[in-house]
Structure 1
């Protein structure tokens, strides 16, 4: 009769876990590639970067306007705003001054 000792069982278990992790990572990459999730995230990060550049260029080319959100619009630290929300607040501030 062939019986495994405790050491052999631990080694077999570690090999099985390593193989499962490897298979999971391969399948995950295939799913991300198929649904183009990696490309989508990359494009969203690039879009955010370009939007920040546009926002910064508009605030630096117009020195008479505020470069930040004024004290009139106080933001709570828990409040999360998107870049679009910040831009719209800045536009509304500029329009209200005109």
Structure 2
């Protein structure tokens, strides 16, 4: 198991091409980004179980997830975006269901 935290919306080596008469360009502020935690597990024989993502927030709005993501992907939320005791138990149950 590996728990990895990363930040969303980091600007890194962006090239922006604009029209000559453009008065302003708005970019996401690199100091204004959210954290999330991805927990990934790969067995010794090379099989991986479904990814477990922890987002910062209070509720998940289903309409925000209308995309091409894996349908088995597990989303969880915490007030910090990091794992806590309740989410640890949820992950253990997820792990058990994927391996049994």
Q: Would you say same fold, with TM above 0.5? A: no
Structure number with the higher strand fraction is 2
TM-score, with structure 1 as normaliser: 0.25
Relative contact order: is structure 1 or structure 2 higher (C-alpha 8 Å, sep ≥ 6)? 2
* Higher Rg: 1
Structure number with the higher helix fraction is 1
